[in-house]
Each structure stands twice: as C-alpha cells, then as structure tokens.
Structure 1
Amino acid sequence: MIALADGVVTEPVRRRMRRCYWLVAASALVEGACFAVLVPLLHTLIGDRFPQAWWWVAALSVLLVLTVATSRAASARQRAVTSEIVASLQHRLAEHVVTLPLGWFSPDRAAALTRLAGEATRMLAATLNGVVAVNIRAAALAGAVWVVLVVVDPVTGAVAAGGLGILVVLYFWAARLLRGATSAGNTTTEQINAELVEFAQLQSVLRAYGRTAQADSEITTALDRVRTASAAYFRGAVTGSVVFQAGTALFLSSVLLTALHRADSAAVSAVVATIVIVLAALLVDSMAALGRTGSVIWAAERTLAEIGEIVATPPLPEPTTDTAVPADSSITFGDITFGYDADRTLLDGISFEVPQGSVCAIVGPSGSGKTTLARLVARFWDVDSGSITLGGKDIREIGSVELMGAVSMVFQDVYLFDASIRENVLIAHPDATDDELAAAAAQARVDEIIARLPDGWNTIVGEGGAALSGGERQRISLARALLKNAPVVLLDEATSALDVENEAAIRAATAALTTGRTVLVIAHRLETVRAADRIVFLEHGRIAETGTHDELLAAEGRYADFWREQERAQSWKIGARA
C-alpha cells in the first residue's frame, strides 16, 4: 500500500507512515517474544523448578510492559499519521487540479473529485494507517510465532511453513478475484448513479410527453445491471472468503495432527505438544486477521488508483522561460486544428484575426465548434496544431495567470459559488473598492436584484446559484466580468430563453462589457451579428465564410441562408388554426 501511495502521498508523510508501521511491527515482535518466554516458563512450572520460573516470570513481565508501551505508542502514532494522510491527500489533489487544463473539469470528473477529496480520502487514510497496520501486526506476530514454533519443534514448524505458503497463495488469489468484481461493481454503480440523476432531472420532460413508462423500464434495466454486478461481487467475496477459511481450517488441522502425532510417537513431550497447539492457534488467528481485512484494503487500492490517475494527468504546460508579454489585445488564429480525441477532428484549419478593440461574431449551426473555438483562447485545452496568439504572442508562451488576467469569460453555463452575491462578484477583483463594485453592479443591473432581496449583497445564492433565476445568475456573471475589466472578452451570448426584463438587462450589460475591448462573441441575436466588425461562419469545424454582415448577405452563401432562417423564426406567432 505504501508503494501504491507513491506520487499520491508526499514523501515526508510516507516516511512517517513507514516509521509508524515499523513501530507496529516492533510491538508485534515484542508480543511474539512473550510467547517465546512462555515456553521455558511452562517447562519450569511443569518440571517443578519454581525458583527458575521466577526469572522467566520477570522476563515475561518486562516484555508485557514493553508490549503495552510500544502498542500505545503505535496507536498514538497511527492517529497522528492518519490526520497527516488526510491533509496530504487533499492538498496533493488541490495542488494538482489547479494546474490542469480547464477543459479537464467535466461534470463526471468534478463529481469524482468531490468524492475523492471528501469521504473517500478519510476512509482511505483510515485504511492506510488502520487496517494496514492491523495486517502488519498480524504478519509480524505470525512470523514471530512461527520462529518460536520452529525452535520448539522443527518438524511441526516445517509443516506450518508449508501451510502458511498455501494460505498466502489463497490470499492473493482471493484478492485478484475480489478486485475484478469490485472494479466491475464500481463502474456499474457510477453508471446507475448518473442515470438516476438524469432520471430525476428530466421528470418534467418525461411526464410532459408521457415517457415515464419507458424511463422506468430503462431504470429497471440499469438496476438489473447493478444487481448482476452486486451478485458477481458477493460471489467473488464469498468464494474468496470460503476458500481462504477452508485453507485456514486445513492449516490448523495439519499442524494439530502433526503435533498430536509427534506427541503420540514420543518425538516430543506432552508439554511441547501443548505449546505447539497453542502456537498453531495463534498462527491461525493472525492469518484470519489478514482475511478479515483484505476486502477493505482492496477497496482502498481502487481509491488510491483513482487519485493516482488524477495526479498523473499532465498539467497545463507553462512557459519554461520568462513569460511572454502581449503587445496588445488582438487575437490571431493561425491554421489551428483541434479534436477532443485522436479519432475525430472538431476544428480544422481555422485562420482569422480579431484586431484590438473589435468585435468578432462566431456564427454557425449547433455542433460546428463555436464554443470550443472560444474556449481555446482561454486554454481550456491546447490546440493539436497551429497557434493562437494574443498581442502577437503564442498563448502557450504566456503564463496561465497572466493569460487569465487578460481574459474575461461569460458563458451560458454560469456557475456561482455557495456564498453571498458580494463574494461572487468580488471573486473577479477582491481588492475592488465599494464604488467600483457599485458601478459594475449598476452596469449589469445587479443593483435591481440586490434591492429586492431582504439580505441585499449578503444574500446567499446557494450551490451553483440555485437560489437565483437563470437571468439573475447571468447578470451576476456579467458584473464579475465588468469588475475584472480585462482587455479581452469571450462571450457566449444567450438571451433567447430569458424573460423580457432579464433580456433587456443583459443586453445593456453586454453592451457595457464589450465597449472598447477585443470581443469574441458566440452570437445568437441578430443585433449582435449585424453590429459585429467581423463575422466568422463555422460549419463542420471549418470556416465557411467570413466578412461583415453586408458582405456576407451580398454573397448569398450559407450566412445569408442562416440570416433568413433567423428572420423567419422571429416572425413566428402562435395563433388559432384557420
């Protein structure tokens, strides 16, 4: 387990873990020495040599005191190291994830990260420094007892060694069996959890269209998969446990029969045979402890592997030399190619320029790569080939802190922290004055939201901003961008699903945000498209057309078709059938 923790737990903590485990092993060895002293003590007592027995009693007393002292010291060290492991794992995860590309943070990965940084980390720490310590103690004690057994009766010790070897093989076989079942069960559980969340979120749609029966059938099928995976897990667990317990019983039987045979044939005395039987029982008890805790350790290995996968994810490359400084806020796409995987190219051969202080609208059908193109400017991912420059400098040569300082992002999927409105806006500029905060709030019309809320600026918005409407969340997002006052704005404009009041407020805030800045906007509204200095029409990941609004309309190409479709859509009305 310490080897598995390499790269996940820091080296100082691993050293303390090793010292803790050595202390646990030492405590077990001292306990084993107590059993070694019992052998001559029993011989002297049964042989009526009581004066000599007092020496062995004294030695046993000293060893018992040492056992208690080392055991208490090991327990105290375990508690301290457990806390260190939790802190180390959480800090290791936190330090690494802040270096990862923003595109890494998908909903599934964010959920897994939350789970691993929370309860899973605490359980893992308890396993690393609790259950593992129990196993180390059991193994050390078994080794010490076996050595005593070999000294007392080498023949029985040899039989015990063969039995121990078989038990070790059975242990690892059971571990392999249960690991496979655990992995399959975890995968199935994650799938059913995702499907249950989707099932709950889509209730309104499912009921509106009368598809609850089909959804129930899909959930039932998913639950059947979970039951099948659970049955496989328990079959593996039961099979491994039964086989290991059977091996333990055979081990004990073989040692007992050997001891009895040795006593019956007068090869050893009755006293030695009795001691051998006691030592064999101790060996069995130690090995049984390994079997009882094995499943917990195997589950912890899975958690460690998940944390290891995150830690092993390559961070966003940073400049190895001095950070490049952009000359201005112009953006240039130079023959870029990008795909989320090697088998599919999403953007292919994209080249255009957005001069400083101009507005470039990205237009095109869904799935054409508009949002991806905008997020590449913020280095959510790095392009596969080509380059994106800011102020004449490749963004890969600009430090991530400097790049993020130059860019404001306002996307459709607005996320707010479970904090107050004030804290959510100030995250863009923590040192902003009250006047600057009030000005940004007024431009984004967040002041209207604050005025009608009882707690005003101190209103807690809930996780993700759940206490506010979609339009209100977008206003706060725009206020953040205004307060940041970055020279480049990446804007995914979306007002079609908002009420009239919020749409008007967001249009006003957007106008204030884009004034005098270099803007790359994923345009949805006709007004934005018409007013843009340049329009880039994407289709199937390529630039189909580029130019001003009037130029593209005159060309009678894809953009003109798109424009006419939007005009027709705006004229649609709901009325009675003639």
Structure 2
Amino acid sequence: MIRMLLRVLGHEYAVPMRRTMVLMTITAIAEGSSYALLVPVLRALFGSAPGDAVPWLIAFGAAVAVYAVLRYTSDLSGMRVGTTMLRGMYHRLGDHLARLPIGWYSSGRVGEVSVMASRGLLQAMGVVAHLLAPFISACVTPLTIIAVMLAFNGRMGLAALAAVPIVAAIQIWTGRSTAAGDAESAERGHEATGRVVEYLQAQPVLRAGGRTAERFRLLDDSLREVQHASRRSTLSALPGVVGLTLTVQAMFTVLLVLGAYLALGGDIGAAEVLTILVLAARCADPLLSLAEIGGGLRGARSELARLDTVLRTEPLREPREPIRPERHDLEFESVAFQYGDRTVIDDVSLSVPEGQRLAVVGPSGAGKSTLLQLLARFYDVDAGVVRVGGVDVRAISTEVLMARIAIVFQDVYLFDGTIEENVRLGRPDAGEAEVRAAATAARLDEVIERLPGGWAANVGEGGALLSGGERQRVSIARALLKNAPIVLLDEVTSALDPVNEAAVHDGIERLMAGRTVVMVAHRLRTVRRADRIVFLDGGRIVEEGSHDELLRRGGRYADFWNVWSPSGEKDMQKEGRAAGTAPGILPA
C-alpha cells in the first residue's frame, strides 16, 4: 500500500514518508521494550525483597517517558506529512483533471470525482496521519513483546510466537474476502452521489410535472443498493473480526494453561507466570485493534486505487517543443473523429481565412459542436490535422492555444461569486475601465444596473441567480475582455427569449468584429452574415458556400433557412411581445 501511496503522490514525498515510518517503528519498539522492565519489577515485588523493585520502577518510568516523547514526535510527523501529502494531492489531482480530454467527463464522472475529491482524498491521505502509526504499533509492539517473552522463557515465548502466522493469515484472508464487497460498496456510493446530484438538478422538472410529493425512484433504488452493498461488505468482514478475536483469546488461554503447567511442575515461579500473562495481555490489545485498523486501511487502499486509475488516465499530450502560431486562420484537413464506436466527424476538410466568419449548420447530432471542440483541442483527432495559424494544434501548448481562443457556449457555467469576478475570468489582470467597457459592449451593464449590489451581486452556484440571457451576457463580456483573435460560438441564442436574444446578438456582433469566427447555430439570424457556410450532416460536409449561393441551390441549407427564416423569427418576437415582454426589459 505504501508503494501505491508514493506512486500516486510522486517520489518527492518518499524521503519524509520513509523517515516518518522509521520513527513510528522505533516508537513501537520502544513501547514493547518498556514492557520488558516489568519482568524484574514483578520478580522483585513477588520475591523476598520487594524494595529491590524501586530502581526498576524508576527505569520503567523513564522508559515510558521516552516512549511518550517518541510517540508525540512520530504522531506530529505523521500529521505534518499527511497534511503536506493532502495538499500536494489536491494540486496534483486538480492539475491532472484539467489536462484530461473533455470526453473523459461523462455523466457518471460527476459523482465519482465529487466523492474522490472530498471523502476519498481525506480517507486516502489520512492513512499517514491517523492509521499508519496504530498499524505499525499493532504489528511491531506485539513482536517486540514476544521477543521479550522468548528471552524470559523460551517455551512460553514459542507458544506466543505460534499465533503470529495465524493472525497474519487471518488478516490476509479478511482482506481478500472483503475486497469485492468494499469495491462494490464504493461503486454504489459513487452512483448514489451522482443520483443525488441528478435529483437536485432535476427539481424544476419534477416540480413542473407535479411530482413534488412522491419520492424519486432512481435515487431510492440507488440508496437501497448502497445499503445492501454496505451490509454485504460488513458481513464479509465479520468472519475475520471474529477469527482474530478468537485467535487472540486462544493464545492467552494457551499461555495461561502452559504457565500453570510449568508452575505446578516447578519449572517456573508464580511471579514469572504473572509476568508472562501481563505481557500477553499487552500483546492482545494492539492485535485486537488490527481488525478495525485493517478495515480503514482497506478502504483507504480502495480510494488510492481509484485515484491511481484516474492519475494513470492519459491526458492530452503537451508538445516537447511547442510552436507559437503567428497567424489566426483555421484549417481542418481530412479530419476524422470517433466517440466510442460512433463516427462523429468523417473526413472533413475546410478552412477559415484570418478575420473571416464560418457558420456551421445542420441537424442535431451532425457533429457541429464537435468541430469547435476539436479546434479548442478538447479532444485529439483520430485522423487528419486541425491547424491554427498553419500549426497543428497538437504542436501548440495548451496555454498558448487557449490564449488565442474565446469560447461562448450554449450552456453557460458561472462560478459562485460576483458578476465582476466571473467577467474577470476572461483576463484577471484587466483594468477596471476595460472590464466596464466589455460589460457595456455585451449589454451586461443593463443587468448590473437593476441588480441589488450591482457589480458585487452574487450569481450563485452555476449562475443560478441569473436568467439564461443574463448568464450569456456575462459569458460574452468575459470573451470580450479576453480579446482573443479567434472566437468559437456554440448555439449561444438557441434557448433564449426574443428580447434576450436581441441583446445577446448585439453583444456577439461586437465580439466577432475583426476576429476569426466559427459559429454553430440552429437559429440562422447571424448565419447569413457569415463569409462562408457549411452544412454538416452525419459528420460530413454536404453543402458549402455563401448564404445566397446555398439558397439558390435549393438544397438542405435552403430547407433549413425556410424553417428558421427571419420572417419566422419576427413572428416569434411578436408572440413574445404579446405575452407581455416589452423590448429592453429582461424577464426576472
């Protein structure tokens, strides 16, 4: 387990870890050795001159004081190393998660990463701070006491030593028998966490459907599975706990019977028998604690194994000698990409000259958003090349590539903080005037003026305290503040009301001015102003050209345009006004 711990953390922690383990081992030996002084103490007390026990009692007190100092030092060292490892693990896990492909973050990962980053990390890193010292003490102290017993009386020492392989076998057997149960229990726990998150996120849907009074069956089933898995895990560990307890009790009974036999035969005195039994009792306490400590160590080992699996997941590779592109044109050359067994992009070739706009349209599932994600290198292509400024994106460092790209998604996520803090994510070192100018260009200033607290208004987790249109304005202001030469837009107005759509559209026009743009849209309001349009279907380009050219052809794009024509959009805006939404007034 220690090897796995060091592999997960990195070898920079090897030296302090080994130093702490050596100190804990010395402490355990000192504890066992101090009990050796009980032999002359009891021998003197039960002998003809009890006063001779005084020097030995003083020596025993001194040994206990030395042990106390060592115990304090080793525990403190364990806490410090554990805290340092926990901090380092958070940094390492965070850095690694930030470099993993976006495709790794499936829906099931939410609960897994949530548990791993909270309880899992604390449990795994708590081994050094809370479990390692008791475990070493439970193993080393009894062995030291048995060594004292061997030196004092060979036959009784050998009787105690015979229990060592039995205890070790029980521990190994318990670990193997509970491994499957522990793994299942952890898996069910992760699933339940995901269901809890899903249940919380689904509250608007459940309440809209009038299901506020009934229980959420999927969550109930998941929690029931957690209960069953925990019961099975506990039952699988029970034989080991009972077996260990019976073994320790049997060892003590054997020593008692053997001591009585030797005393009756005159081979050993009553004082010596009592001493052996006292030492055996001191052996029993740490051995009995092995069951509880072993359960904690198995749980920590399971968390370490999951952490190890995540950290072994191959991140997107950084180039050894990164190239910095000088231009901002974009190019796809024979690009193919698969998600699982499904081909999402199939032999796509297109280019976007610097400063021009490309619009990507097509039915849902055609691969439009995937094109943007490949440009931003959220994934690596399976075949072909994606270039920015004539340079393969795989040859550009992530930091340089992201500095050149501003992305506005359909679903905007805002961090729990103020509006200003969320806008400043685009460029944290921007001046106040620049932040205000970006907000004005995105028409975010209209929102800020009417919110209590203005710029200091809290947006809530995920931006929950703002409407969808307000969140989009924050996102556009953030992109404007970043001032990147390449802009990627992913259906940013598809779920907005007409008034918010108009405001967001105005901000997008300012964002696109003078930049290289690739936009994905269902509503085609901005598409006709693109320099070039490609119609994507089944991962392939089936049509491309300007807006007028594609309309003249009367193909797939023309059909889309007839459905989402400006006249249709005007009708939608009229319906919005009739419903009571006045121009310039955002819904609450």
Give TM-score, length-normalised by structure 1. Answer: 0.91
Pairwise CA distance, 1:206: 4.1
Corresponding position of 1:256: 256
CA distance in 2 between partners of 1:38 and 1:174 (Å): 34
Determine helix, strand or coil for the equivalent of 1:543.
strand
Determine helix, strand or coil for the equivalent of 2:439.
helix
Q: Is the 8 A contact 2:75 2:133 kept in 1?
A: no
Q: How does 1:96-245 map to 2 (within 5 A)?
A: 96-106=96-106, 108-109=108-109, 112-206=112-206, 208-209=208-209, 216-245=216-245
CA distance in 2 between partners of 1:415 and 1:535 (Å): 28
Pairwise CA distance, 1:476: 0.7
Deviations 1:188-222 (A, max 9, x none): 12223323433343344345556789974444433
* Letter paired with 1:446: L
Percent of aligned positions that are identical? 38
Corresponding position of 1:325: 324
Determine helix, strand or coil for the equivalent of 1:413.
coil
Pairwise CA distance, 1:379: 0.8
CA distance in 1 between partners of 2:497 and 2:65 (Å): 77
Root-mean-square deviation (CA, aligned residues, Å) is: 2.6
* Structure 1: gaps of 5 or more residues: none
With over 3 angstroms needed to count, the CA separation of the structure-2 counterparts of 1:79 and 1:367, relative to structure 1, is: same
Q: Which stretch of the first structure deviates more once superposed, 383-392 or 100-109?
A: 100-109
Corresponding position of 1:455: 453
Corresponding position of 2:314: 314
Q: Is the 8 A contact 2:374 2:381 kept in 1?
A: yes
CA distance in 2 between partners of 1:82 and 1:456 (Å): 43
Pairwise CA distance, 1:54: 4.6
With over 3 angstroms needed to count, the CA separation of the structure-2 counterparts of 1:74 and 1:202, relative to structure 1, is: closer
Corresponding position of 2:545: 547
Pairwise CA distance, 1:298: 1.4
CA distance in 2 between partners of 1:185 and 1:357 (Å): 55
Corresponding position of 1:30: 30
Deviations 1:129-149 (A, max 9, x none): 212211111211111001011
Q: Is the 8 A contact 1:17 1:129 kept in 2?
A: no
* Structure 2: gaps of 5 or more residues: 576-588
Corresponding position of 1:56: 56
Q: Is the 8 A contact 1:364 1:370 kept in 2?
A: yes
How many residue pairs are counted as aligned between the two chains? 572
Match of 2:510 among 503, 509, 512: 512
* Letter paired with 1:88: G
Pairwise CA distance, 1:256: 2.8
Corresponding position of 1:383: 381
With over 3 angstroms needed to count, the CA separation of the structure-2 counterparts of 1:366 and 1:211, relative to structure 1, is: farther
Match of 2:347 among 340, 346, 349: 349
Determine helix, strand or coil for the equivalent of 1:268.
coil
Q: Is the 8 A contact 1:252 1:281 kept in 2?
A: yes
1:338 aligns with 2:337: yes
Deviations 1:341-377 (A, max 9, x none): 3x33222211111111111111121112111110111
Q: Which stretch of the first structure deviates more once superposed, 510-519 or 150-159?
A: 150-159
Q: How does 1:483-562 map to 2 (within 5 A)?
A: 483-562=481-560
Determine helix, strand or coil for the equivalent of 1:479.
helix
* Letter paired with 1:335: S
Pairwise CA distance, 1:153: 2.4
CA distance in 1 between partners of 2:202 and 2:95 (Å): 36
With over 3 angstroms needed to count, the CA separation of the structure-2 counterparts of 1:38 and 1:219, relative to structure 1, is: closer
Q: Which stretch of the first structure deviates more once superposed, 485-494 or 565-574?
A: 565-574
Pairwise CA distance, 1:515: 1.6
Q: How does 1:398-413 map to 2 (within 5 A)?
A: 398-413=396-411
Q: Is the 8 A contact 1:357 1:516 kept in 2?
A: yes
Q: Is the 8 A contact 2:463 2:471 kept in 1?
A: yes
* Letter paired with 2:338: G
CA distance in 1 between partners of 2:443 and 2:550 (Å): 35
* Letter paired with 2:156: T
Q: Is the 8 A contact 1:336 1:383 kept in 2?
A: yes
Pairwise CA distance, 1:517: 1.1
Q: Is the 8 A contact 1:335 1:385 kept in 2?
A: yes
With over 3 angstroms needed to count, the CA separation of the structure-2 counterparts of 1:179 and 1:553, relative to structure 1, is: same
Q: How does 1:430-449 map to 2 (within 5 A)?
A: 430-449=428-447
Q: Is the 8 A contact 1:13 1:88 kept in 2?
A: no
Pairwise CA distance, 1:513: 1.0
CA distance in 2 between partners of 1:143 and 1:301 (Å): 25
Q: Is the 8 A contact 2:79 2:128 kept in 1?
A: no
With over 3 angstroms needed to count, the CA separation of the structure-2 counterparts of 1:466 and 1:266, relative to structure 1, is: same
CA distance in 1 between partners of 2:506 and 2:18 (Å): 62
Determine helix, strand or coil for the equivalent of 2:525.
helix
Q: Is the 8 A contact 1:181 1:232 kept in 2?
A: yes
Deviations 1:242-296 (A, max 9, x none): 2332333233333333333333344433332222222222222121111122211
With over 3 angstroms needed to count, the CA separation of the structure-2 counterparts of 1:260 and 1:370, relative to structure 1, is: farther
Q: Is the 8 A contact 2:45 2:51 kept in 1?
A: no
* Letter paired with 2:549: E
Deviations 1:374-415 (A, max 9, x none): 011111111112110011111111111111111110011211
Deviations 1:293-325 (A, max 9, x none): 22112111122223222322223211212x313
CA distance in 1 between partners of 2:204 and 2:433 (Å): 43
With over 3 angstroms needed to count, the CA separation of the structure-2 counterparts of 1:213 and 1:243, relative to structure 1, is: farther
CA distance in 2 between partners of 1:186 and 1:141 (Å): 32
* Letter paired with 1:291: A
With over 3 angstroms needed to count, the CA separation of the structure-2 counterparts of 1:196 and 1:315, relative to structure 1, is: closer
CA distance in 1 between partners of 2:46 and 2:200 (Å): 74
Determine helix, strand or coil for the equivalent of 1:8.
helix
Corresponding position of 1:367: 365
With over 3 angstroms needed to count, the CA separation of the structure-2 counterparts of 1:129 and 1:486, relative to structure 1, is: same
CA distance in 2 between partners of 1:352 and 1:263 (Å): 96
With over 3 angstroms needed to count, the CA separation of the structure-2 counterparts of 1:257 and 1:350, relative to structure 1, is: farther
Determine helix, strand or coil for the equivalent of 2:534.
strand
